[in-house]
C-alpha cells in the first residue's frame, strides 16, 4: 500500500533530483556556496516557507520556516551543501542537503492538519569552519524540539552513531637563520622544533586511547637546505571520543609542543586554524523511532552507527535532541572523500537511499507530532545526558 508520505514524495521527486544534480554539477567550497544556497531557497520559497537569508550573519546560510496554525513541536532538518577542493562533492553534501530540503517539503504537507513547525536550515562549510558551531553558540537550536539530517554512505543504511570531538591546532616555531654549513652553531633551527614535536607525539601514542586520533602535516619546513630555517609550522587535527577527553588530550599534545620548543631553543606559538567540533551525542530514543520507520519501509539490513570522524552536528547535539544517520548511495563499498563517492551521489541507487531517508525522517516527525509522550521521552533523555 502506498502511504500518504510516499504520495507527497512523488509530487516532489522531480525538483529534488534537479536540485541534487545542479549542486553536484556546481560544487562550491565552504562559505562560498552561493548557487547551492539560492537553489535550496528557490524551492522552499515557492512552497510558502518564510526565508531568512544570511542566517546568524553567515552569507551562505539560510533558515526556512513553515508554521502551521496549530500548536506542535518545532522540527528542523539541516541542509549541508559544501564541496571539497578538487574532488567536488566527494562527501555527497549535494544529496545530504537535498534529503533535508525534501524532508522539509514533505513534512510541510502534514503539519496543517497535525500541527507544528517545519524548519530547514542551510548550514554551510561542514568540511572546514562548520556553520553549525556558530549557530549552536548563537543559541538557535535551544527552542527547536528535534533536529535531523542524514548523510550519504556506501551500501547500507546506518543508525545514527557517535563522532569524535575534534580540535584543529597550528604549531608555529620561530628560530634564527644561519649558513647551514658555514655557521650552523649561530642559527636556531625552527624545523627541529616541528620534528621534535612529531617525535614526542609519536612516543605518546602508546599511552593514548584507541579512540584518540592525532594527525598532522608540516606546512612550512624552511626555504633552502643551506639555510637554517627560522620558521616552521604544522597543522594538526586532534580527536577524542568526547569533548571532555579531547581537552585533556589537546593539553598533552600542547605540552609536547612546549617541550620541543624548550629542547630546540625555539619560540612557539599555538593557535586554532579551524573551528573545533564537539562529539555527536545521538538521541537513542529518536534514533530508535527512525530505525523502526526504516524497517516499516521494508529495509532489513541496517548497520550500527559510525564512531570515527568528526562533524559539526556534534555541536548541535549538545543543544537539543539530534540524530544523524546515513543512507546508502551505492551497491558496493565506497570510500568517503573520493571522486567515486561524488559520482555515486547522482545514481538511481542514491535516489532510492535518499527516498528511504526522507520518508523515515518524515514518518519519525509525524510520530513525534502525534505522540506527546514520545517527544517527552526524547527530551528527558536529552536532559539526562546533558552533562
Give least dist CB 289 to Zn ion, A: 23
Which of 174, 165, 75 shows the shortest CA–CA distance to 117?
75
Which CB sits closer to Zn ion, 78 or 378?
Answer: 78
- And the C-alpha cell for 164? 569524535
In the complex, least distance from residue 351 CB atom to Zn ion, rounded to whole angstroms: 18
Cβ 84 to Zn ion, closest distance in Å? 7
In the bound state with Zn ion, the residue whose beta carbon lies nearer, of 162 and 232, is 162
We find the least distance from the C-beta atom of residue 278 to Zn ion, in angstroms, to be 16
Residue numbers 56-95 binding Zn ion by CB under 5 A:
91
The residues in 91-130 that bind Zn ion, with binding defined as CB under 5 A, are 91
Residue nearer to Zn ion on the CB measure, 91 or 294: 91
Joined together, the cell numbers standing for residue 141 give 537550536
CA atoms within 13 A on the CB side of 7: 6
Which C-beta is closer to Zn ion: that of 127 or that of 192?
127
CB of 276 to Zn ion, least distance (A): 16
Question: In the complex, what is the shortest distance from the CB of residue 44 to Zn ion, in angstroms, rounded to a whole number?
Answer: 22
As measured in angstroms, the least distance from the Cβ of 78 to Zn ion is 12
| Shortest Cβ 135–Zn ion spacing (Å) | 17
Block residue for cell numbers 520507520: 293
**Is the Cβ of residue 228 or residue 344 nearer to Zn ion in the bound state?**
344
> Contact at 8 Å (CB) between 78 and 147?
yes
Per CB under 5 A, 286 contacts Zn ion: no
Residue nearest to Zn ion (CB): 91
Q: Distance between CA atoms of 259 and 262, rounded to whole angstroms?
A: 5
Binding to Zn ion (CB under 5 A) within 169-198 occurs at: none
The three cell numbers locating residue 103: 524532508
| Identity of the residue, 91 or 228, whose beta carbon is nearer to Zn ion in the bound complex | 91
Give whichever of 91 and 120 is closer to Zn ion, judged by the CB atom.
91
Number of residues that bind Zn ion (CB under 5 A): 1
Measured from the CB atom, the residue of 91 and 261 that comes closer to Zn ion is: 91
Task: Provide the minimum distance between the beta carbon of 337 and Zn ion in the complex, in angstroms, as a whole number.
Answer: 6
Min. distance of Cβ 126 from Zn ion in angstroms? 6
C-beta closer to Zn ion: residue 293 or 310: 310
Which residue, among 296, 347, 350, has the nearest Cα to 326 in the 3D structure?
350
Under 8 Å between Cβ of 245 and 287: no
Nearer to Zn ion, 8 or 237 (CB): 237
Count how many Cα atoms sit within 13 Å of the Cα of residue 71 in the half-sphere of its side chain: 1
User: Rule CB under 5 A: which residues touch Zn ion?
Assistant: 91
Amino acid at each position: 500500500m502506498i502511504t500518504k508520505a510516499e504520495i507527497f514524495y512523488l509530487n516532489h521527486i522531480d525538483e529534488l533530483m534537479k536540485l541534487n544534480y545542479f549542486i553536484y554539477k556546481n560544487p562550491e567550497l565552504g562559505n562560498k556556496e552561493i548557487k547551492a544556497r539560492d537553489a535550496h531557497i528557490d524551492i522552499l520559497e515557492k512552497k510558502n516557507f518564510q526565508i531568512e537569508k544570511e542566517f546568524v550573519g553567515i552569507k551562505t546560510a539560510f533558515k526556512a520556516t513553515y508554521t502551521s496554525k496549530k500548536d506542535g513541536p518545532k522540527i528542523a532538518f539541516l541542509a549541508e551543501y559544501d564541496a571539497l577542493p578538487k574532488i567536488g562533492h566527494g562527501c555527497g553534501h549535494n544529496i545530504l542537503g537535498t534529503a533535508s530540503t525534501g524532508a522539509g517539503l514533505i513534512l510541510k504537507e502534514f503539519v496543517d492538519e497535525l500541527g507544528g513547525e517545519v524548519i530547514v536550515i542551510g548550514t554551510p562549510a561542514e568540511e572546514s569552519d562548520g556553520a553549525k558551531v556558530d549557530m549552536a553558540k548563537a543559541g538557535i537550536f535551544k527552542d527547536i524540539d528535534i533536529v535531523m539530517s542524514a548523510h550519504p554512505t556506501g551500501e547500507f543504511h546506518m543508525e545514527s552513531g557517535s563522532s569524535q570531538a575534534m580540535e584543529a591546532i597550528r604549531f608555529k616555531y620561530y628560530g634564527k637563520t644561519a649558513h647551514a654549513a658555514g655557521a650552523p652553531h649561530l642559527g636556531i633551527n625552527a624545523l627541529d622544533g616541528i620534528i621534535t614535536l612529531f617525535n614526542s607525539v609519536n612516543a605518546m601514542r602508546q599511552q593514548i586511547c584507541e579512540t584518540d586520533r592525532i594527525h598532522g602535516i608540516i606546512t612550512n619546513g624552511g626555504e633552502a637546505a643551506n639555510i637554517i630555517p627560522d620558521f616552521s609550522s604544522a597543522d594538526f587535527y586532534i580527536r577524542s571520543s568526547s569533548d571532555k577527553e579531547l581537552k585533556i588530550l589537546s593539553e598533552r599534545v600542547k605540552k609536547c609542543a612546549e617541550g620541543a620548543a624548550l629542547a630546540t631553543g625555539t619560540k612557539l606559538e599555538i593557535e586554532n586554524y579551524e573551528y573545533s567540533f564537539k562529539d555527536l551525542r545521538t538521541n537513542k530514543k529518536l534514533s530508535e523511532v527512525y530505525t523502526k520507520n526504516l524497517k516499516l519501509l521494508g529495509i532489513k539490513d541496517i548497520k550500527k552507527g559510525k564512531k570515527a570522524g568528526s562533524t559539526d552536528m556534534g555541536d548541535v547535539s549538545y543543544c537539543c535532541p539530534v540524530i544523524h544517520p546515513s543512507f546508502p548511495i551505492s551497491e558496493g563499498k565506497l570510500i568517503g572523500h573520493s571522486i567515486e563517492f561524488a559520482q555515486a551521489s547522482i545514481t538511481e541507487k542514491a535516489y532510492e537511499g535518499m527516498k528511504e531517508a526522507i520518508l523515515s525522517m518524515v514518518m519519525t516527525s509525524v510520530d513525534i507530532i502525534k505522540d506527546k509522550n514520545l517527544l517527552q521521552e526524547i527530551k528527558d533523555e536529552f536532559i539526562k545526558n546533558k552533562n
